């Protein structure tokens, strides 16, 4: 089996970003870095005046748009892209052919090929493919997430199938045919004139252990991915395409792989469909990094961006061949690689925008905020801007209390939260599996933290406390106060809700059945003329 990396950056532990996974992860990582430095953080809705001149998309749900400001300046961000990246650079990055034109103009190597706009004749595509030379790559001119990208196409039949798929499924006739470059696909992230992170994007795969079937190995691999903040939403799918790819290699989902043998499940390296991000920042040759920097500099108005390239090792020298640039790239795979050293991309970007700010301190590195709570005013449309409370000033003090007894009453937990707020403290209240509770109390006033212990005893009506033990706490700290229920209680509540839902569905089904029976009944049909006349009179009265 694979050895999976779970050594994250010390200031970005999984517990800090439980409520910001998936599409919200990138913006949260960026905002968290700036907020921890003492910058003012605000979240904005999609129709904010501040973002009218910035290219954005799919921002109906809050959590993508935010601003960071110091006394000297303010910058606006869409996910990982800030306002120092021009709209022109964004437009070029979205257009693969325009990207290629700018790269070639500056002498940056990119696969040779041709764009076919409004393609109607498959014969023209075959002519271009023959001119480029098989094998070729076929992809839509405007695409992302690897959709519609077909690599290593070696026959006219495969070429025709790929183009048909793009035209019918993606509904576009703008297609690029280019040479297939052998090598491994990498994503590098460039800020200014420096590569601040690099990862190999390995297609979804499993490694045999001599015992488990391929299907079981996929399940095990997916469980490992669920522990990764970036990959929790990027699981390997066992679909017909996967099964077909496995069968072409002489295996099935029921095959048992020999120990140590690696089986690829697709030839596409996208992280979103189960690929593995492997950090190679320190291993990648400087010549390849220089190509990535040159690629970013080739695009006017582009100051930081991801660069996707192939590392070509077929010649005497290792070369980087640029595939595309992404000014609004996801950075989760670089920050949370499946293997290798994590890369602190948020730090590098915030350094670029706010060079005068101090790095996060040991105390502020423990702080985080619950994104769901912060965004609630925007989600409920009660506000257009949600401003975060500033990071606490001064030395942090924190204690952990374990409270035993009859302490499972949710009202008791709400009372403890109120006691924390009244003392200007923050932390969390967690129901443990043994029905005791863990209470974290933190703040800049050591006396308030110390005195909070007495507040635990102040609600005898909703609790019977047997013991309270305390110890110093040095872990992650939520700037608010969160209440977490034990997993078994959460399961019980989920089961209760499920049962309630089933009862409601049964009742609805019964009512619907009775209603249909009534519609077919004799009394309903015989009263139709009377109801019709009544409807006519109502209509006359309204007019």
Clarify whether residues 494 and 481 are in a common domain. no
In a domain, 291, yes or no: no
Q: What's the domain range around 406?
A: 397-485
Tens of pLDDT, residues 98-151? 999 999 999 999 999 998 988 878 899 999 999 999 999 998 887 665 678 888
Clarify whether residues 408 and 473 are in a common domain. yes
Residue 522, pLDDT > 70, answer no
Clarify whether residues 382 and 403 are in a common domain. no
In a domain, 47, yes or no: yes
What per-residue confidence (pLDDT) applies to 488?
A: 47
pTM: 0.84
Mean pLDDT of 209-222: 96
* Cα–Cα distance measured from residue 520 to residue 525, given in angstroms and rounded to the nearest whole number: 7
* Cα–Cα distance measured from residue 16 to residue 24, given in angstroms and rounded to the nearest whole number: 13
Clarify whether residues 415 and 475 are in a common domain. yes
Decide which of 140, 160, 179 is a domain's last residue.
179
* Cα–Cα distance measured from residue 178 to residue 115, given in angstroms and rounded to the nearest whole number: 8
Clarify whether residues 175 and 116 are in a common domain. yes
**By three-state DSSP, how is residue 207 classified?**
strand
In a domain, 150, yes or no: yes
Mean pLDDT of 244-260: 95
> Of 117-131, 380-394, 418-432, which gets the smallest average pLDDT?
117-131
In a domain, 225, yes or no: yes
In a domain, 316, yes or no: no
Using a 10 angstrom Cβ sphere, with 0-12 exposed, 13-18 middle and 19 or more buried, the burial of residue 272 is middle
Residue 341, pLDDT > 90, answer yes
Clarify whether residues 481 and 493 are in a common domain. no
> Of 58-72, 91-105, 136-150, 395-409, which gets the smallest average pLDDT?
136-150
The strand pair at 367-368 and 205-207 is best described as unpaired
Q: How many domains does the chain have?
A: 5
* Cα–Cα distance measured from residue 42 to residue 77, given in angstroms and rounded to the nearest whole number: 10
Residues 6+ apart with CB under 8 A from 206: 214, 217, 218, 220, 221, 257, 262, 263, 265
Rounded to 10 degrees, what is the CA torsion of 285, 290, 292, 295? -160
* Cα–Cα distance measured from residue 339 to residue 496, given in angstroms and rounded to the nearest whole number: 40
53-61 LR contacts (CB < 8 Å, sep 24+):
53/87, 54/78, 54/83, 54/87, 55/87, 55/90, 55/91, 61/23, 61/379
In a domain, 104, yes or no: no
Token readout for 541 is: 């009265």
In a domain, 161, yes or no: yes
**At 155, which CATH number?**
3.30.1490.20
Clarify whether residues 481 and 492 are in a common domain. no
- List C-alpha distances in Å: 537 to 417, 531, 532: 60, 10, 9
**At 451, which CATH number?**
3.30.70.100
In the numeric block, the tokens 């921002």 are attached to 59
Decide which of 469, 485, 501 is a domain's last residue.
485
Tens of pLDDT, residues 321-330? 999 999 999 9
Rounded to 10 degrees, what is the CA torsion of 272, 278, 283, 289? 10
Is it true that the peptide bond before 135 is cis, omega within 30 degrees of 0? yes
Q: How many CA atoms lie within 13 A of 116 on its CB side?
A: 23
* Cα–Cα distance measured from residue 536 to residue 124, given in angstroms and rounded to the nearest whole number: 65
In a domain, 149, yes or no: yes
């Amino acid at each position: 089996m694979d050895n999976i990396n779970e050594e994250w950056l010390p200031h970005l532990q999984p517990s800090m970003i439980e409520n910001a996974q998936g599409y919200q992860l990138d913006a949260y990582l960026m905002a968290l870095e700036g907020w921890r430095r003492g910058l003012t953080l605000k979240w904005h809705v999609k129709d904010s005046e501040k973002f009218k001149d910035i290219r954005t998309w799919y921002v109906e749900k809050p959590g993508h748009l935010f601003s960071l400001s110091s006394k000297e300046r303010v910058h606006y961000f869409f996910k990982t892209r800030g306002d120092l990246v021009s709209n022109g650079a964004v437009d070029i990055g979205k257009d693969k052919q325009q990207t290629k034109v700018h790269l070639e103009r500056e002498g940056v190597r990119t696969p040779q090929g041709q764009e076919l706009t409004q393609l109607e004749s498959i014969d023209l595509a075959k002519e271009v493919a023959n001119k480029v030379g098989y094998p070729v790559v076929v992809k839509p001119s405007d695409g992302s997430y690897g959709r519609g990208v077909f690599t290593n196409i070696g026959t006219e039949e495969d070429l025709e199938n790929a183009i048909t798929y793009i035209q019918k499924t993606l509904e576009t006739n703008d297609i690029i045919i280019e040479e297939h470059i052998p090598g491994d696909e990498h994503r590098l992230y460039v800020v200014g004139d420096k590569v601040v992170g690099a990862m190999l994007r390995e297609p979804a795969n499993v490694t045999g252990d001599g015992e488990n079937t391929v299907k079981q190995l996929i399940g095990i691999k997916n469980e490992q991915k669920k522990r990764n903040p970036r990959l929790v939403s990027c699981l390997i799918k066992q679909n017909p395409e996967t099964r077909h790819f496995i069968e072409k290699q002489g295996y099935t989902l029921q095959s048992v792989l020999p120990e140590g043998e690696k089986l690829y499940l697709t030839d596409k390296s996208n992280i979103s469909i189960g690929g593995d991000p492997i950090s190679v920042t320190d291993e990648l040759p400087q010549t390849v990094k220089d190509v990535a920097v040159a690629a970013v500099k080739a695009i006017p108005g582009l100051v930081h961006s991801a660069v996707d390239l192939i590392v070509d090792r077929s010649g005497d020298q290792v070369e980087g061949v640029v595939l595309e640039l992404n000014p609004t790239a996801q950075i989760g795979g670089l920050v949370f690689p499946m293997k290798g050293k994590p890369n602190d991309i948020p730090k590098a970007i915030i350094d670029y925008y706010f060079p005068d700010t101090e790095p996060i301190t040991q105390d502020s590195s423990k702080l985080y905020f619950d994104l769901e709570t912060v965004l609630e005013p925007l989600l409920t449309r009660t506000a257009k801007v949600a401003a975060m409370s500033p990071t606490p000033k001064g030395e942090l003090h924190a204690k952990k209390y374990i409270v035993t007894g009859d302490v499972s009453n949710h009202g008791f937990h709400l009372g403890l939260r109120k006691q924390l707020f009244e003392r200007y403290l923050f932390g969390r209240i967690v129901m443990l599996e043994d029905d005791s509770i863990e209470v974290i109390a933190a703040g800049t006033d050591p006396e308030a933290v110390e005195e909070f212990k007495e507040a635990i005893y102040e609600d005898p009506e909703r609790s019977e406390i047997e013991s309270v033990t305390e110890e110093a706490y040095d872990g992650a700290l939520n700037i608010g106060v969160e209440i977490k229920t034990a997993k078994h209680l959460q399961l019980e509540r989920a089961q209760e809700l499920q049962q309630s839902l089933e009862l409601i569905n049964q009742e609805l089904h019964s009512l619907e059945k009775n209603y249909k029976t009534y519609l077919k009944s004799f009394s309903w049909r015989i009263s139709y003329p009377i109801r019709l006349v009544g409807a006519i009179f109502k209509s006359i009265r309204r007019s």
